[in-house]
Structures are given as structure tokens and as C-alpha cells.
Amino acid sequence: MVTTVIGDWNEFIANLIVGGANKLQIGDVLIQWGLHNSSGGNTLTFPIAYTTAPSVVGSVVSTSTIEQDAYVVHGQVSTTEAEFEVRAILDTGVGTTDVFNNTSNVQWIAIGINNA
């Protein structure tokens, strides 16, 4: 096992960003994270593919002022993609309704194996 001492934090962080992707690989474990704008579609393509499907978590970053609550529904996950659907509970003035909202940003993190 090789131990690396982090002397320059800015250099360490800069090395995590590869081609615009935030990633960290320790041995075979690959961790990637980022911001996905769901207005471009519900499918996020991972910057670097995994060997097996990773575990993925996403959360809503911004919501409109009329939303009482917003949440992410996770769809299928493969070695190259993850699906997100943002749902919002809106106050219509006469009650609340659960609606699809495809304009929110989703912060995501994926952890899995990449031993290719």
C-alpha cells in the first residue's frame, strides 16, 4: 500500500478534476460527483464508466419559491448512466399537487468499482 502525503491542497483538488469531472479513485474504488441539470434530460452519463453499476445518490439543489418540497426519484443505474426524476409538491392555492419538474439541478455522487 502506498501512502501519499498531501502537501498542497489546491494541487490535490486540481488533480481530482479530470476533463471537467470530479472524481477520486482509490485502488479499484471510483467516486464521482457533480451537478446535473435535469432540464437537459433525466439521464446522467458518468464521465468515467464503472466496471459494475455503482451506488448513486442525488438531491435537489434549487427549487422555485412556490414549491413546498422537492425530491429526487432514482431510476435505473448502469455502469455508464443513472436516471433521475425531480418531483415537486406545489401549493396551488387550493391544495397541493405532486408534479414532475424537469428544471431543477441535482447534486449527485456515485461510488463503485472501476478495475478496468
9-67 tens-digit pLDDT: 676 666 655 545 688 888 899 999 988 876 656 888 999 999 999 999 888 776 555 54
pLDDT at position 114 is 92
Beta pairing partners, 31:
24, 111
Which class does domain 9-113 fall in? mainly beta
Residue closest to 64 by CA, chosen among 26, 101, 17, 14: 101
Cell of 62: 434549487
DSSP summary character for residue 79:
S
CA-nearest of 102, 106, 110 to 46 is: 110
Predicted model pTM: 0.71
Inter-residue long-range contacts of 97-101, CB under 8 Å, 24+ positions, other chains counted: 101/38, 101/63, 101/67, 101/70
Backbone dihedral region of 30: left (phi > 0), alpha (psi from -120 to 50 degrees) or beta?
A: beta
pLDDT mean across residues, the chain: 76
Rounded CA separation 68/90 (Å): 6
Q: Are strands 29-37 and 21-26 parallel, antiparallel or unpaired?
A: antiparallel
